């Protein structure tokens, strides 16, 4: 059962494989996928994952609606997406086979738990005849295993009840897949032992199932199917496999450190953002105060109150929550104090597709408030990049005293990638300044304090309650430089224009953006957010085929990088793939009068590189 | 907060012109607070007033302290964040019945149940003033207003009952015509650790003039105000001739001569169970029935901010000050050479 088996030489080496684990929600496929990923990470592969689970906590067992899947792409080279079509499908029941088979590549491998293919399950999945018995799977290489029975058998001697034993069948499947793809077994066994510490029967059952699956694969004469993906050559360093929500949470901890200010998170549970609340709640020793509010509005309200008091006020949510927060964000625009708003986007409108990804809140982030209420918008581009995006959002909020919206999405939040840990001493700095005394001298030479007197960046001072001599009132009604109410028409126009200029001026602190690929080519593909992986892969493939293509991927959406307009105008073709109906394309057209062509996908799933290549080529030739 | 200079009322008055309608009950409340605050010996700068929207919500502009005039209904939420982030501050929330019971009702009850250190002043005039006269969540059924020409068919909230239902740890009622009583209620609410809610019957002389005349006018008070005094039998009337008994959870008004003094309920504001206080709150049936005023309930409960800071301190004691490097390495890591 080790990689040094004398027959190792027979194992066919491949550059990559894409495995999709699929089964009923209760079958433990997320766990199996996650463990396969972890073992592969330790083995040194580059990887990307895509968990997909139903919106219902307990969808009816055995149905298509209840299928939970986890796709992992492992490679011996740098990759950026969970891949195109899976090369291997693990189908734990008929519904998983029915639902997921269309995604499998031609002549792909299917690993099937035959025990689940009884009449009832076949019927629930909508099969008229048993695909194991008709020849509907003829084009594939099918590996059948009575996983449930064999798991029970393996656990028989352990004193585990058969019903409990059955639950370990995901480890049997994992054992098989681990052998087939030459994964080391130790990491999984170690993990089982530490994860279920104190539950000896569970450890025994899972371990027995895992080993039984491994041995079964070895003995079932599956040598011809065995593959190995060699470790990727990655830059030296310490790595961890990170998902976007965790990276984002850690980025906020880092930002709090860099700014020297405590973090206050007001949040209301919402998929797929709740994990940020869970993660930050663990870190009270950083001075983090997490506050689970009564609703989305209270969550952002409390964050704003904390910001007013000198904490980094933060709220995390998804689209429906952002909609609810918009009035309070408008108040933050008017008060001009820091506030970080994280939107982990999901399919909308309304409840939409809560567990599926989409990037359709861009225009809401830009414009989703009443009145002229501009604010900076930044986005994260890969799971690990969420860390740096969080620091940048906080930097802008604190240094410019403004609410900032940080856009992530469900795919980034739940997807993972190996991340070379940054050196904490090299993280960007965040400068904080509180006003401590009068900030102006009037015509009579007297010192005075003007709450809305702006500095060179057009930002007003951050003034902590408690500061001697600076007691003042602020509010949502239009005010003048003193903070007091002003209904003067000219003052209102001045304030509206100044608030807009203030946000525009943030561009001074944004580096010029440099295209990747062929900067001198005719075609540029422009993206933002989680399309980074698919666009990188697609542009790479096109260039290998000889096309001259550049790739611009934005972190800063409002304001845009200062050179973006000029840069886009230097290309003949500007193609904008997005997981919405063309929101960035619209902004680019409006801002720069560039004929940007939109490529849209709104299926709740990320682009695959292959479809993107096809769609980009179509758009170019259009 | 050492070396605090003694202040007087005028130190707490801002330079902004007060813009309520002449004769509005809000003036009396403003004066009461400005007279009360010097008593506490706090610095103006350590005091923050947070309001939502409405006539009452203009309050912060008139106080020479820190303050936020925020958005409709949200002041308890915003104030919660500030009070949790800055436990050194003295945070007050001011708003009307529309602000805090209608659009912001949710935030109010949750602030109360959490017991965050806030002193909350609810100006109840039973009408929307700033939007010029629509019925509010405390308007009586049948009230004819611009938005209810045939009479309101909304059943009103009793704010005290609502607060007690949310298990608020401090609940009191007062009215705008009795400055001394207002100051006493606010003082007690302020001394209280946790959320202190004071409902203030406030006259809106433009849109709901005289709403409380039958209760709060000087010559009506003896017969109509049931003064709640901790440890004393609940009785009222010029000679104390009326009293309150509670039978199977229901409070009713009796003549002391009929039932005897011993039959009356003895007010215990620190009773942990809110049921008796709730029964008393039901006596304020309408604006022409005898109405209890005073502290309905004052109990000790853990204050949210104290608990939250306690968790921060405990986490630091157990795990040490947060270290980013070790968080980054807290999952499985591997080395690439
Ligand atoms: S409308 Fe009523 S509550 Fe508002 S200021 Fe005028 S009198 Fe006072």
Cα–Cα distances (Å) from B97 to A618, B144, B152, B200, B242, in that order, read 61, 17, 16, 10, 30
Helix/strand/coil percent split, chain A, to 5: 40, 20, 35
Judge contact between A151 and A123, C-beta under 8 A.
no
Whether the pLDDT of residue A9 is over 70: the answer is: no
**Cβ B66–A472 below 8 Å, yes or no?**
yes
**B133 CA closest ligand 1 atom index:** 1
Q: Residue A465: name the closest of B41, B90, B35, B60 by CA.
A: B90
The DSSP element (H or E) to which B315 belongs, if any, is helix B304-319
A225/A179 Cα distance (integer angstroms) = 10
pLDDT at A618: 96
Instruction: With beta carbons under 8 A apart, name residues in chain A contacting B333.
Output: 238-240, 421
Closest residue CA from atom 6 of ligand 1: B21
**B25 CA closest ligand 1 atom index:** 8
What residue ranges in A138-260 does DSSP mark as E strands? 141-145, 227-228, 237-243
Whether the pLDDT of residue B4 is over 70: the answer is: no
pLDDT at A42: 84
Strand-pair category, B90-96 with B47-51: parallel
User: Stretch A273-295: mean pLDDT, rounded?
Assistant: 98
A367/A557 Cα distance (integer angstroms) = 12
Please give the structure tokens belonging to residue B221. Answer: 């008070």
**B55 CA closest ligand 1 atom index:** 4
Q: What is the pLDDT of residues B15-59, one digit of tens each?
A: 999 999 999 999 999 999 999 999 999 999 999 999 999 999 999
Q: What is the pLDDT of residues B67-76, one digit of tens each?
A: 999 999 999 9
Determine contact: B312 vs chain A, CB below 8 A.
yes
Q: Which 8-state DSSP code applies to residue A604?
A: S
- For A486, the closest chain B residue by CA position comes to B16
> What ranges in B240-303 are assigned the alpha helix state H?
256-259, 275-281
CA of B22 to the centre of ligand 1 (A): 8
pTM: 0.93
Cα–Cα distances (Å) from A537 to A213, A355, A526, A551, A613, in that order, read 34, 25, 13, 10, 9
Whether the pLDDT of residue A202 is over 80: the answer is: yes
Judge contact between B298 and B115, C-beta under 8 A.
no
pLDDT at A569: 97
User: Stretch A616-622: mean pLDDT, rounded?
Assistant: 93
- For B324, the closest chain A residue by CA position comes to A254
Cα–Cα distances (Å) from A569 to A200, A517, A525, A593, in that order, read 65, 17, 13, 9
Cα–Cα distances (Å) from B313 to A265, A315, B5, B82, B319, in that order, read 17, 23, 32, 19, 10
Nearest CB among B63, B69, B308 relative to A289 is that of B308
Strand-pair category, B170-175 with B196-201: parallel
Domains of chain A, first to last: 3-228 (3.40.920.10), 241-426 (3.40.50.970), 516-621 (3.40.50.920)
Please give the structure tokens belonging to residue B325. Answer: 């490097």
Nearest CB among A242, A250, A302 relative to B80 is that of A302
A340/A300 Cα distance (integer angstroms) = 9
Percent of chain A whose pLDDT exceeds 70? 98
Q: Residue B49: name the closest of B82, B22, B88 by CA.
A: B82
pLDDT at A220: 85
A71/A49 Cα distance (integer angstroms) = 6
B166/A281 Cα distance (integer angstroms) = 26
Q: What is the pLDDT of residues B192-247, one digit of tens each?
A: 999 999 999 999 999 999 999 999 999 999 999 999 999 999 999 999 999 999 99
Q: What is the pLDDT of residues B131-164, one digit of tens each?
A: 999 999 999 999 999 999 999 999 999 999 999 9
Give the closest-approach CA distance of B123 to chain A in angstroms: 20
pLDDT at B3: 55
Mean pLDDT is lowest, of A225-239, A324-338, B83-97, B177-191, for: A225-239
Please give the structure tokens belonging to residue B330. Answer: 């807290």
pLDDT band, very low/low/confident/very high, at A247 (cuts 50, 70, 90): very high
Determine contact: B60 vs chain A, CB below 8 A.
yes
Whether the pLDDT of residue A3 is over 50: the answer is: no
Instruction: With beta carbons under 8 A apart, name residues in chain A contacting B66.
Output: 465-466, 471-473
User: Stretch B294-310: mean pLDDT, rounded?
Assistant: 98
pLDDT at A12: 87
Mean pLDDT is lowest, of A28-42, A381-395, A416-430, for: A28-42
B25/B30 Cα distance (integer angstroms) = 9
The DSSP element (H or E) to which A249 belongs, if any, is helix A244-259
Whether the pLDDT of residue A307 is over 60: the answer is: yes
User: Stretch B313-327: mean pLDDT, rounded?
Assistant: 97
Q: What's CA A546's distance to the chain center, in Å?
A: 31
Determine contact: B9 vs chain A, CB below 8 A.
no
pLDDT band, very low/low/confident/very high, at A564 (cuts 50, 70, 90): very high
A396/B19 Cα distance (integer angstroms) = 38
pLDDT at A25: 87
CA of B94 to the centre of ligand 1 (A): 15
Show the ligand 1 pocket: residues with CB < 6 angstroms. Answer: B 20-21, 24, 26, 55, 125, 129, 204-207
Instruction: With beta carbons under 8 A apart, name residues in chain A contacting B13.
Output: none
Nearest CB among A240, A264, A420 relative to B332 is that of A240
Q: What is the pLDDT of residues A71-89, one digit of tens each?
A: 999 999 989 899 889 999 9
pLDDT at B1: 44
Percent of chain A whose pLDDT exceeds 90? 89
Whether the pLDDT of residue A170 is over 50: the answer is: yes
Judge contact between A414 and A51, C-beta under 8 A.
yes
Q: What is the pLDDT of residues B239-279, one digit of tens each?
A: 999 999 999 999 999 999 999 999 999 999 999 999 999 99
- If you search the block for the tokens 């930050």, which residue do you land on? A280
- If you search the block for the tokens 């656990």, which residue do you land on? A155
pLDDT at B88: 98
User: Stretch B99-103: mean pLDDT, rounded?
Assistant: 97
Q: Residue A16: name the closest of A228, A179, A193, A162 by CA.
A: A228
**Cβ B14–A304 below 8 Å, yes or no?**
no
pLDDT at A6: 46
> What ranges in A408-518 are assigned the alpha helix state H?
410-414, 489-504
**Average pLDDT of chain A to the nearest whole number:** 94
> What ranges in A545-608 are assigned the alpha helix state H?
564-569, 583-592
A400/A403 Cα distance (integer angstroms) = 9
Give the three-state DSSP class for B93.
strand
3-class SS string, A58-115: CCCCCCHHHEEEEEEEEECCCCCCCCCCCCEEEECCHHHHHHHHHHCCCCCEEEEEHH
**Cβ neighbours of A588 (radius 10 Å):** 23
Instruction: With beta carbons under 8 A apart, name residues in chain B contacting A328.
Output: 71, 74
Q: Residue A115: name the closest of A89, A144, A95, A141 by CA.
A: A144
Whether the pLDDT of residue A568 is over 50: the answer is: yes
Please give the structure tokens belonging to residue B123. Answer: 């100006």
CA of B26 to the centre of ligand 1 (A): 8
pLDDT at A58: 72
pLDDT band, very low/low/confident/very high, at A458 (cuts 50, 70, 90): very high
Q: Which 8-state DSSP code applies to residue B263?
A: G
Determine contact: B13 vs chain A, CB below 8 A.
no
pLDDT at A1: 38
Closest residue CA from atom 5 of ligand 1: B20
Give the three-state DSSP class for A270.
coil
> For chains A and B, what is the number of CB pairs under 8 angstroms?
207
* A305 dihedral zone (left: phi>0; alpha: psi -120 to 50; beta): alpha
Please give the structure tokens belonging to residue B184. Answer: 């006493």
A293/B326 Cα distance (integer angstroms) = 29
Whether the pLDDT of residue A44 is over 90: the answer is: no
**B129 CA closest ligand 1 atom index:** 1
User: Stretch A525-542: mean pLDDT, rounded?
Assistant: 96
Give the gyration radius of chain B's Cα atoms.
22
Mean pLDDT is lowest, of A128-142, A488-502, B291-305, for: A128-142
Judge contact between A56 and A113, C-beta under 8 A.
no
Q: State the ipTM, two decimals.
A: 0.97
Largest CA distance in chain A: 96
User: Stretch B103-128: mean pLDDT, rounded?
Assistant: 98
A542/A297 Cα distance (integer angstroms) = 46
B303/B191 Cα distance (integer angstroms) = 13
Instruction: With beta carbons under 8 A apart, name residues in chain A contacting B316.
Output: 284-285
Instruction: With beta carbons under 8 A apart, name residues in chain B contacting A303.
Output: 81
From B17, B124, B205, mutation site for ligand 1 pocket: most ligand atoms within 8 A of C-beta: B205
């Amino acid at each position: 059962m080790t990689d040094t088996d004398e027959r190792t030489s027979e194992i066919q080496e491949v550059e990559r494989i894409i495995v999709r684990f699929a089964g009923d929600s209760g079958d433990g496929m997320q766990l199996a996928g996650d463990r396969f990923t972890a073992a592969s990470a330790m083995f040194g592969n580059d990887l990307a994952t895509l968990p997909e689970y139903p919106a219902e906590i307990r969808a009816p067992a055995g149905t298509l609606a209840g299928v939970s899947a986890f796709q992992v792409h492992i490679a011996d080279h740098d990759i950026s997406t969970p891949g195109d079509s899976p090369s291997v499908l693990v189908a734990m029941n008929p519904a998983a086979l029915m639902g997921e088979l269309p995604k499998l590549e031609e002549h792909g491998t299917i690993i099937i738990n035959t025990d689940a293919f009884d009449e009832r399950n076949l019927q629930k999945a909508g099969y008229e005849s048993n695909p194991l018995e008709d020849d509907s799977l003829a084009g594939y290489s099918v590996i059948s295993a009575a996983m449930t029975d064999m798991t029970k058998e393996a656990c028989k001697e352990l004193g585990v009840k058969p019903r409990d034993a059955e639950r370990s069948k995901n480890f049997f499947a994992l054992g098989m897949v681990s052998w087939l793809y030459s994964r080391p077994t130790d990491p999984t066994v170690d993990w089982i032992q530490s994860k279920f510490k104190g539950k000896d029967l569970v450890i025994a059952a899972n371990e027995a199932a895992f080993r039984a699956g491994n041995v079964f694969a070895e003995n079932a004469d599956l040598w011809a199917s065995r593959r190995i993906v060699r470790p990727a050559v990655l830059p030296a360093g310490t790595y961890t496999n990170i998902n976007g929500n965790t990276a984002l949470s850690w980025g906020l901890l880092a930002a709090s450190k860099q700014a020297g200010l405590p973090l206050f998170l007001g949040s209301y549970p919402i998929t797929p953002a709740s994990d940020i609340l869970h993660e930050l709640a663990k870190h009270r020793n950083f001075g983090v105060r997490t506050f689970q509010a009564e609703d989305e509005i209270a969550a952002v309200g409390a964050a704003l109150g904390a910001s007013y008091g000198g904490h980094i006020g933060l709220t995390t949510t998804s689209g429906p929550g952002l909609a609810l927060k918009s009035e309070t964000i408008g108040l933050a625009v008017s008060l001009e104090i820091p506030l970080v708003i994280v939107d982990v986007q999901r399919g909308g409108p309304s409840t939409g597709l809560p567990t599926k990804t989409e990037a359709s809140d861009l225009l809401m982030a830009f414009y989703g408030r009443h009145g002229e209420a501009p604010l900076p918008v930044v986005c994260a581009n890969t799971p690990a990049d969420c860390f740096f995006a969080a620091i940048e959002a906080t930097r802008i909020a604190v240094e410019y005293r403004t609410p900032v919206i940080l856009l992530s999405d469900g795919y980034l939040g739940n997807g993972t990638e190996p991340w070379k840990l940054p050196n904490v001493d090299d993280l960007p700095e965040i400068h904080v300044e509180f006003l401590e005394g009068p900030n102006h001298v009037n015509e009579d030479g007297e010192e005075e304090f003007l709450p809305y007197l702006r500095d060179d960046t057009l930002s007003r001072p951050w003034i902590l309650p408690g500061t001697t001599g600076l007691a003042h009132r602020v509010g949502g009604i239009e005010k003048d430089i003193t903070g007091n109410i002003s209904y003067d028409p000219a003052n209102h126009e001045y304030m509206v224009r100044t608030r807009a200029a203030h946000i525009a001026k943030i561009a001074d602190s944004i580096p010029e953006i440099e295209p990747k690929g062929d900067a001198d080519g005719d075609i540029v593909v422009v993206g933002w957010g989680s399309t980074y992986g698919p666009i990188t892969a697609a542009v790479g493939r096109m260039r290998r085929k000889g096309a001259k293509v550049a790739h611009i991927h934005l972190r800063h959406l409002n304001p845009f990088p200062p050179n973006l307009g000029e840069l886009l105008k230097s290309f003949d073709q500007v193609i904008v793939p997005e997981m919405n109906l063309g929101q960035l394309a619209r902004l680019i057209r409006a801002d720069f009068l560039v004929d940007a062509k939109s490529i849209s996908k709104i299926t709740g799933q990320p682009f695959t590189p292959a479809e993107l290549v096809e769609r980009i080529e179509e758009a170019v030739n259009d | 907060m050492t070396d605090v200079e003694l202040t007087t009322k005028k130190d707490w008055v801002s330079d902004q012109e007060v813009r309520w309608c002449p004769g509005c009950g809000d003036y009396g409340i403003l004066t009461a607070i400005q007279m009360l605050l010097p008593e506490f010996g706090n610095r103006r700068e350590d005091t923050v007033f947070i309001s939502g929207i409405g006539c009452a919500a203009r309050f912060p502009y008139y106080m020479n302290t820190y303050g936020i005039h925020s958005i409709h209904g949200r002041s308890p939420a915003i104030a919660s964040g500030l009070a949790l982030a800055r436990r050194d501050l003295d945070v007050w929330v001011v708003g009307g019945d529309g602000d805090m019971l209608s659009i912001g009702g949710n935030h109010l009850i949750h602030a109360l149940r959490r017991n965050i250190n806030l002193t909350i002043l609810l100006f109840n005039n039973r009408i929307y003033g700033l939007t010029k006269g629509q019925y509010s969540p405390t308007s009586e059924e049948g009230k004819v207003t611009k938005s209810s020409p045939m009479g309101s068919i909304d059943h009103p909230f009793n704010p005290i009952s609502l607060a007690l239902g949310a298990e608020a740890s401090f609940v009191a009622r007062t009215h705008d015509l009795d400055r001394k009583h207002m100051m006493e209620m606010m003082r007690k609410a302020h001394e209280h650790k946790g959320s202190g809610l004071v409902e203030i019957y406030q006259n809106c002389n433009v849109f709901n003039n005289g709403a409380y005349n039958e209760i709060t006018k000087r010559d009506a008070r003896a017969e109509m105000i049931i003064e709640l005094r901790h440890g004393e039998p609940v009785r009222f009337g010029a000679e104390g001739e009326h009293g309150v008994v509670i039978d199977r959870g229901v409070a009713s008004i009796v003549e002391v001569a009929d039932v005897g003094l011993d039959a009356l309920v003895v007010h215990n504001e620190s009773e942990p169970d809110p049921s008796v206080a709730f029964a008393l709150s039901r006596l304020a049936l309408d604006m022409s029935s005898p109405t209890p005023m005073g502290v309905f309930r004052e109990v000790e409960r853990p204050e949210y901010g104290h608990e939250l800071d306690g968790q921060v301190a405990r986490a630091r004691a157990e795990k040490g000050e947060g270290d980013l490097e070790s968080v980054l390495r807290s999952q499985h890591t591997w080395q690439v050479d």
